[in-house]
Chain A
Amino acid sequence: MQDSPTPPSIVSQPQPESSALLLQDENLWYKDAVMYQLHVRTFCDSNADGIGDFRGLTSKLDYLQELGINAIWVLPFYPSPLRDDGYDIADYTSVHPSYGTLQDFKDFLAAAHNRRIRVITEMVVNHTSDQHPWFQEARSSRENPKRDWYVWSDTDNRYQGVRIIFVDTEMSNWSWDPISKSYYWHRFFNHQPDLNYDNPAVREAMWKVMKFWLDIGVDGFRLDAVPYLIERDGTSCENLPETHEIIRDFRKRIDLAYPGKMLLAEANQWPADVRSYFGNGDEFHMAFHFPLMPRMFMAVKLEDRKPIIEILEQTPQIPENCQWCIFLRNHDELTLEMVTDIERDYMYDEYAVDKAMRINLGIRRRLAPMMENDRRRVELLTGMLLSMPGTPIIYYGDEIGMGDNVYLGDRNGVRTPMQWNGGWNAGFSAADPERLYSPLISNPVYGYQAINVDSQRRSAHSLLSWTKSVIQTRNAFRVFSRGSIEFLNPSNHRVLAYVRRLGEEKVLIVNNLSSSAQAVELNLQMYKRHIPIEMFGRNLFPRIGDLPYLLTLGPYQFYWFRLRRI
């Protein structure tokens, strides 16, 4: 092969330094955010009922501020029968009593804003709970004014061939309603009927819901299940053009009335298909990069950067005011929808040998157990998450290496109470342990006695302390959030190396994906005469010269270098 590695590939162009208006830069706050995802139920219980609430969450905002995150994404907290962990909403403009009151939420919001932490909430736009008054009305009779708010059919033959998303539990996308004697359409659980967005009234109703929360002061919404808003015969009923019209409409209204608020798309699609959700910068501000996530896990297991490079090479450019959202784990299963069959089998065999770990074409495990509690691998993946282009999201508990319980059913194994200390109920709640909404993780390896915030706070070398410092480093340099990325592709495929660049600021990231020590020669000709400064220890490394730059890395080790030319 060639002496020098393959030429660097530029995946994204640098975002221009926003210097003109502070307001304009403020409106792009989501590009610089480090997000923290949590469910209010899991975080902290203030009233000893065994369920986390907003008051409890408010009491832990100092912890989050100390961690260094600057945005919280709160999972659904609306009144709901809780048959899908709150994604089956029965009332869009209230707070589930278990979590507190609307005032509690407002207090939380204010406290968060005081700490310069923004709050994003869920907006489940595609469907409601079958207990929602809208559906109760719609099903009551065929003549009800809200009948047309949902998608009905006399037969279950419409929209043939459309895939079922929850394959483990649903047999069809249609369910029979015994009350109105007809079928209703649902892309998710049968108790979550899909709203009919062909009906302008539905759009208006949803806009009113958004307005409600925006007026209270939330900083943005994660719109759940957006690809499925519209149905048409003869299509996959996903990503249809009409869906984008709806989004553009919402976006226009938000930009007019609530500038600086953000819309985040949950569209589990290939990057090229997600691209359309950004529009021309007039649809979503952000979207999750779903296909990248399993490939990061795959790359570490394969000890080969190929899966990551391949998916990023086919990730299209997005408008300047948009941003990808990247993550390692979340409240759902680690989805394996956007991988090939071979890749899925590999992931199952490597990460979910026990079939109890698998659900719905995914893996319901947390980060640390998937990494076999190997601190080095956890750090490596976290480092990659925080250094790749996009806004990173940290799932609650992953910063201390929390474990999971795959035997809890559905995805509840990754939604166990936050472990604050080694004492009563892990410091989560004063209630009787039996009353907790979910059992704690209590095994000797991941149990709360071993893994908790308090004990990790005491050590400057704990995973928590490490995560804090790496977030701090990331926040100090805008190049991570706004910079371009250029892959170096050295001949050693076990090393993933790239340069982030924003104006004159350049950062070189080198990741060893392998379990053994590696040597790598990097083609840094373009940065000749620069001095690499390792960003955590701030030590100087040899100046870049004419020859390929040789680095050696320990197992799963990574470097962040600032490249300074003095």
Chain B
Amino acid sequence: MAEESFLADDFIRQLMSVGEVDLLVGIPSYNNASTIAQALHSVEESLRQNFVRERAVILNVDGGSGDETRQVFEQTSERREAGHKGLTSLRTIHRISCMYDRSPSQGVALRSVVAAADLLRARACAVISPATTNLTPSWIANLLRPVYREGLDFVAPLYVRSRFQGLLARDLLYPMSRAVFGQRIRELYSDEWGFSGRLASQCLEQDVWREEAVRTRPEAWMGILAGSTGLKCGQYFLGPKTVSPSATGPDIVDAIRQTVGNFFWCMETNQPYWMSRSNSPSVSTFGPEHELSADGIPPSQEKMFELFRSGVNELEPILASILTPDTHAQIKAIALSDRAKFRFAAELWVKTLYEFAASYHRAVLNRDHLVQALVPLYRGRVYSFLLEHANSSAEAMEAQSEILCQEFERQKPYLLERWTAKS
């Protein structure tokens, strides 16, 4: 019996009309009616300025918006320049849109994007978020150009962060992915990225689209897949990023469930690859590799420490089943320490994360619950970081970040030991 296809007939018909393209820009959307027109204009402007002769298509994949996002996308007219007698681009810049009727999911949207890229034989693709309000034409060009002209397969963005922003990425995801997968990609979890048609085809062949990790954070899976299959990765500096007020991103619990859950799942499915890696060479980076702005006031910390302490206490049985007795004891010890002198040392933090990863692998308990159990510990770590760096400069913070990365790399043998242990 023929298998059901996830591509609707109408979508195929639209792809048929477009034909082969050189560039594809995907815009997943859900209730972005107020911002999608601006995103669309930025993309069209970028294509007109930077890829004049290339065949291009802009694809909107909508998750069933209730605010006519899709209609706005389809009906927004192309901007015409005042000069040149109202003539626009050299070529038709196609716009096609499709909708899926399951719950909104980045992974489902990406599947349509990579399917389109594969069918249209696109050489370079990019995914952008319509919620990013300061999206400029240069962003899109910076994500496409390294793929289209330099031959990269995956391009992650680099943003300017304020000192106290994005700590999950800086203190956990980046150093851990650098040590485990050997990829020095700072923003593996992002809303905008570029990739090649080759990578898109590879992704399409994978049978992982129903996995929760891929549904929520497909970009990281894509980046790790690229690295693990020998494709070339890079990153491009885009500048500061602002999002619309209605789209400030997930809270800490959801963020950890999505990102750390995704990361552990990637570890689970790429074992032969990361277990044999021992170094982390740098990737092609366009622009400054990192930039922390000096602004940013340290957020309120007291509550964070309380949550850490209560978490360690209330989740004791759960933590006992995840961590080794020694690590658990150390964490309980620091939970009892004085608030003002609290330190969650890098060494302990790394050890904790690696033990969590190993316990995830052995499924000592429900995996989602296991990841959630990390939240109070993360809060403790952030509290410690804020205490330590409340008055630090951006450069000092960066230096500390590098030390943390090296600690992750140093303890990788421990990860391997825990991973392969029976209990």
Chain A residues in contact with chain B, CB under 8 A? 1-3, 270, 272, 298, 302, 304-307, 310-311, 314, 340, 342-343, 346, 490-494, 514, 518-519, 521
Q: Which residues of chain B are near A270, meaning CB under 8 Å?
A: 85
Q: Which of A1, A3, A342, A494 has the most CB of B within 10 A?
A: A1
CA distance A519 to B17 in the complex (A): 8
Say which one of B87-95, B339-347, B370-378 lies at the interface with A. B87-95
The closest CB in chain B to the CB of A273 belongs to B85
List 7 tightest A-B contacts by C-beta distance, closest first: A491-B17, A492-B17, A306-B92, A493-B92, A340-B84, A304-B91, A304-B92
Q: Is the beta-carbon distance between B96 and A1 smaller than 8 angstroms? A: yes
**Additional A-B contact list (8), CB under 8 Å, known A340-B84, A342-B90, A492-B17:** A1-B17, A3-B10, A314-B86, A490-B17, A493-B18, A493-B19, A493-B92, A518-B19
Interface string of B2-35 (1 = CB under 8 A from A): 0000000010011011110000000000000000
Q: Which residues of chain B are near A302, meaning CB under 8 Å?
A: 90-91
CA distance A1 to B58 in the complex (A): 11
Q: Which residues of chain A are near B19, meaning CB under 8 Å?
A: 492-494, 514, 518
Q: Which listed residue (B84, B88, B95) contacts A1, Cβ 8 A?
A: B95
Q: Is the beta-carbon distance between B96 and A519 smaller than 8 angstroms? A: no
B290: Cβ under 8 A from any A Cβ: no
Q: Is the beta-carbon distance between A272 and B85 smaller than 8 angstroms? A: yes
Q: Is the beta-carbon distance between B16 and A1 smaller than 8 angstroms? A: no
B365: Cβ under 8 A from any A Cβ: no
The closest CB in chain A to the CB of B98 belongs to A1
Within the complex, what minimum Cβ distance (angstroms) separates A292 from chain B?
13
CA distance A305 to B52 in the complex (A): 16
Q: Which residues of chain B are near A343, meaning CB under 8 Å?
A: 90
Q: Which residues of chain B are near A311, meaning CB under 8 Å?
A: 87
CA distance A386 to B293 in the complex (A): 64
List 20 contacting pairs A-B, 8 Å CB cutoff, sorted by A.
A1-B74, A3-B10, A270-B85, A272-B85, A302-B90, A305-B92, A310-B87, A314-B85, A346-B53, A346-B90, A491-B13, A491-B14, A491-B17, A492-B16, A492-B17, A493-B17, A493-B18, A493-B19, A493-B92, A494-B19
CA distance A310 to B78 in the complex (A): 13
CA distance A310 to B91 in the complex (A): 11
Q: Which residues of chain B are near A298, meaning CB under 8 Å?
A: 90
The closest CB in chain A to the CB of B84 belongs to A340
Q: Which listed residue (B14, B18, B87, B96) contacts A340, Cβ 8 A?
A: B87
B97: Cβ under 8 A from any A Cβ: yes
Q: Which of B53, B74, B86, B90 has the most CB of A within 10 A?
A: B90
The closest CB in chain A to the CB of B48 belongs to A342
Within the complex, what minimum Cβ distance (angstroms) separates A353 from chain B?
14
Within the complex, what minimum Cβ distance (angstroms) separates B408 from chain A?
47
Q: Is the beta-carbon distance between A1 and B90 smaller than 8 angstroms? A: no
CA distance A272 to B90 in the complex (A): 20
CA distance A1 to B86 in the complex (A): 23
The closest CB in chain A to the CB of B94 belongs to A493
Interface string of B331-362 (1 = CB under 8 A from A): 00000000000000000000000000000000
CA distance A484 to B406 in the complex (A): 74
CA distance A3 to B16 in the complex (A): 13
Within the complex, what minimum Cβ distance (angstroms) separates B311 from chain A?
50
CA distance A519 to B19 in the complex (A): 10
The closest CB in chain B to the CB of A313 belongs to B86
Q: Which residues of chain A are near B85, meaning CB under 8 Å?
A: 270, 272, 314
Q: For window 263-285 of chain B, which residues contact chain A by CB distance below 8 Å?
A: none
Q: Which residues of chain B are near A521, meaning CB under 8 Å?
A: 13
The closest CB in chain B to the CB of A307 belongs to B90
CA distance A311 to B92 in the complex (A): 14
The closest CB in chain A to the CB of B20 belongs to A516
The closest CB in chain A to the CB of B96 belongs to A1
Q: Is the beta-carbon distance between B74 and A2 smaller than 8 angstroms? A: yes
Interface string of B38-77 (1 = CB under 8 A from A): 0000000000000011000000000000000000001000
CA distance A310 to B90 in the complex (A): 10
CA distance A521 to B16 in the complex (A): 11
Within the complex, what minimum Cβ distance (angstroms) separates B341 from chain A?
62
Within the complex, what minimum Cβ distance (angstroms) separates B62 from chain A?
13
CA distance A493 to B100 in the complex (A): 26
CA distance A298 to B92 in the complex (A): 12
CA distance A343 to B91 in the complex (A): 10
Q: For window 286-337 of chain B, which residues contact chain A by CB distance below 8 Å?
A: none
Q: Which residues of chain A are near B18, meaning CB under 8 Å?
A: 493
Q: Is the beta-carbon distance between B74 and A306 smaller than 8 angstroms? A: no
The closest CB in chain B to the CB of A548 belongs to B13
Q: Which residues of chain B are near A306, meaning CB under 8 Å?
A: 89-92
